[in-house]
Amino acid sequence: MLVLDSGGVSRLAERSRQAAALILALREEDLWPPLVPSIVLVECLQGHPGRDALPNSFLKTCDIVEEIGESLARRAALLRRMARRGSAVDALVVALAEPGGTVLTSDPGDLTALAQYAHDVIVEKV
């Protein structure tokens, strides 16, 4: 399972050869489409149709997780307490990737700290 945070969405939404190559590789590894928690949209969108055109187009290729259940929210809270860092959004991204998932991000610091307390979650910089 592949989960994207806001940095992962922003990087993969770029119209660049690097982003296209990575998406192709993820498809070949059967890791597509990625999961994106709906709360991540708050961080990666600006509320402006023009500025949001690329991310909105990209997000149509992803599976948006609209509901964050109580157990997932509680798990994210526990990860955040144990790591003593990271935002609520970061903690939800890592909790959603459990067990055995990979998180793609442009800023791995807090996510890596959270993943140290998660069940078999890998954080990769994109």
Q: Which domains, from first to last, does the chain contain? A: 2-125 (3.40.50.1010)
Assign 21 a pLDDT band (cuts: 50, 70, 90): very high
How far apart CA 86 and CA 64 sit, in angstroms, is 22
42-96 pLDDT, tens digit per residue, is 999 999 999 999 999 999 999 999 999 999 999 999 999 999 999 999 999 999 9
Residue appearing with tokens 């798990």: 75
For helices 6-13 and 17-28, angle between their N-to-C axes, nearest 10 degrees: 110
pTM for the predicted model, two decimal places: 0.95
pLDDT in the model for residue 84: 97
